Chains A and B, each alone.
Chain A
Amino acid sequence: MNFVRNFFATRWGIISVGAFIGVFAPLLQKWGNPANMGICVACFERDIAGALGLHRAAVVQYMRPEIIGFVLGSLIAAYAFKEFRARAGSAPIVRFVLGAFAMIGALVFLGCPWRAVLRLAGGDGNAIFGLLGLIGGIWIGTLFLKGGYNLGRAQKTHASVGWLFPLTMIGFLVLMFIFPQIQGQERSGVLFYSIKGPGSTHAPLFVSLVIGLVIGFLAQRSRFCTMGAIRDFVLFRQSHLLLGFIALVVVAFIVNLILGQFNPGFAKLPVAHTMSLWNFVGMVLAGLAFCLAGGCPGRQLFLAGEGDGDSAVFVFGMIVGAGISHNFGLASSPEGVGPYGIPAVIIGLLVCLFIGFTMRKEVA
């Protein structure tokens, strides 16, 4: 146990976790997940919002088992290594709002940091603008961090507070078993499914779930975080997390080459548009929101699995943000940005700046 504990805290530990995701994300694609979207935390939470009917975009409705696996895998790791700590109360409303705007920004680009590098590893040149935006947003966030920005302290609390989010995920999984997908039908009981589009393409439930569980377990141990990778390098010149992120993109690129999934170009690529400026600005918003909230969307799920109620609120913010994005025409499509995507991104940036500038008091 101690060897495992120590290994994942090392450089090779984080590299191996990034590499593991780099192998299995493209494989999930081969096994049925959407192209250039082996695992996208934002897209998959958006699909979950669709499965629950929080938005009714017919092409993106599926209760993604990977997300459920991430949370439960982290929960198992946290208990196995005695790290489960129920905690909450560090500016939850701020985290909710940051989660919602992070999702709105990510859906203008069409992907989270995970998918940004997976798109790049699949040859999608538009991802470069998204990644530059992500770095830009995180860089702005580090300026706030240097200026004393913080979310305040969380408090230790009842174990049940930490359990609510994992229990919600178990509930979602149970719903998938009670109301399984019916071929050619959009609805099964309380759940919505997609008949066409990215929501209809998915690996078999158990494959997605098991890979999600393993990634959740490994990521909890190694503290894998794509936003932290860039933030720590900008802020402290520390490359620990960055090595994991680089391992992900390099390995995913190699696996895509082997599987014949590398298709370089810009136009007409899967679930992507070519409006470079808004690919960039959308991810500036997402990167800034992730940085102000202290973790990438994957990391927020892993933290929620180990008992962090504030991260759970962030995830709920993202799921609600996805509902808002698709209900009000903020989300992009392969044709380009949605009718209200641009003003939403500008409002999001202003809200993030408001939060960044005003939450700078010394920690008591």
Chain B
Amino acid sequence: MSAIVDARGLSCPQPVILTMNEIKKVKKGEIVVLVDTDTSKENVSRAATSQGWTLKGVEPEGTGYRISLSKD
């Protein structure tokens, strides 16, 4: 079961802060981040990969995106 970070409706830099907090908390495994702007999608992906996480996929969901991240 992945941890879910719901960053929809939050403006910069909240989506990245919430994602980074979750990364620090779980250390490895899977995280799903929900965002609703392209900017947040890019920022979250960039921040997570810089922490050694893999971007498993980005799927449109509702009016935003569902970002799947993982780290072994």
Question: Are A and B genuine complex partners?
Answer: yes
> A interface vs B, CB < 8 Å?
9, 81, 83, 85, 87, 90, 145, 150-151, 153-156, 223, 225, 228, 231-232, 235-236, 238, 240, 294-295, 308, 310, 363
Residue of A154, A228, A232, A236 with highest tally of chain B CB at under 10 A: A236
The answer to whether A294 and B12 have CB atoms under 8 Å apart is: yes
Interface flag for B72 (CB, 8 Å): no
Residue of B nearest to A235 (CB): B13
Q: Which DSSP category, helix, strand, loop or mixed, fits chain B's interface?
A: helix
The answer to whether A240 and B46 have CB atoms under 8 Å apart is: yes
Q: Are A238 and B50 CB-contacts (below 8 A) given A156-B63, A295-B12?
A: yes
Interchain CB contact (< 8 A) of B39 among A150, A153, A223, A232:
A223
Q: Are A363 and B12 CB-contacts (below 8 A) given A9-B42, A156-B36, A156-B63?
A: no
Chain B residues closer than 8 Å to A87, beta-carbon distance = 9, 36
Chain B residues closer than 8 Å to A231, beta-carbon distance = 13
Interchain CB contact (< 8 A) of B9 among A9, A81, A154, A294:
A154
The answer to whether B42 and A85 have CB atoms under 8 Å apart is: no
Interface flag for B11 (CB, 8 Å): yes
Residue of B nearest to A146 (CB): B17
Q: Using an 8 Å CB-CB cutoff, how does the interface string of B1-15 with A read, 1 for contact, 0 for none?
A: 000000011111110
Interface flag for B59 (CB, 8 Å): no
The answer to whether B8 and A153 have CB atoms under 8 Å apart is: yes
The answer to whether B13 and A83 have CB atoms under 8 Å apart is: no
Residue of A nearest to B62 (CB): A156
Interface flag for B37 (CB, 8 Å): yes
Residue of A nearest to B18 (CB): A363
The answer to whether B37 and A151 have CB atoms under 8 Å apart is: no
The answer to whether A85 and B63 have CB atoms under 8 Å apart is: yes
The answer to whether B10 and A145 have CB atoms under 8 Å apart is: no
Chain A residues closer than 8 Å to B16, beta-carbon distance = 236
Residue of B nearest to A232 (CB): B13
A87 to B13 alpha-carbon distance, docked (Å): 17
Question: What are 20 of the A-B contact pairs (CB < 8 Å)?
Answer: A9-B42, A9-B46, A83-B37, A85-B37, A87-B9, A145-B13, A151-B11, A153-B10, A155-B9, A223-B39, A231-B13, A232-B13, A235-B17, A236-B16, A236-B47, A236-B50, A238-B47, A294-B11, A308-B11, A310-B11
Interface residue total, chain B, C-beta cutoff 8 A: 21
Chain B residues closer than 8 Å to A85, beta-carbon distance = 36-37, 63
Residue of B nearest to A310 (CB): B11
Interchain CB contact (< 8 A) of B11 among A81, A90, A223, A232:
A90
The answer to whether B9 and A90 have CB atoms under 8 Å apart is: yes
The answer to whether A150 and B14 have CB atoms under 8 Å apart is: yes
Chain A residues closer than 8 Å to B47, beta-carbon distance = 236, 238
Chain B residues closer than 8 Å to A145, beta-carbon distance = 13, 17
The answer to whether A228 and B12 have CB atoms under 8 Å apart is: yes
A30 to B47 alpha-carbon distance, docked (Å): 40
Chain B residues closer than 8 Å to A223, beta-carbon distance = 39, 42-43
The answer to whether A153 and B12 have CB atoms under 8 Å apart is: no
A254 to chain B, nearest CB (A): 29
Interface flag for B20 (CB, 8 Å): yes
State the 7 A-B residue pairs at the shortest beta-carbon distance, nearest first: A153-B9, A294-B11, A154-B9, A294-B12, A9-B42, A83-B38, A223-B39
B4 to chain A, nearest CB (A): 13
Chain A residues closer than 8 Å to B17, beta-carbon distance = 145, 235
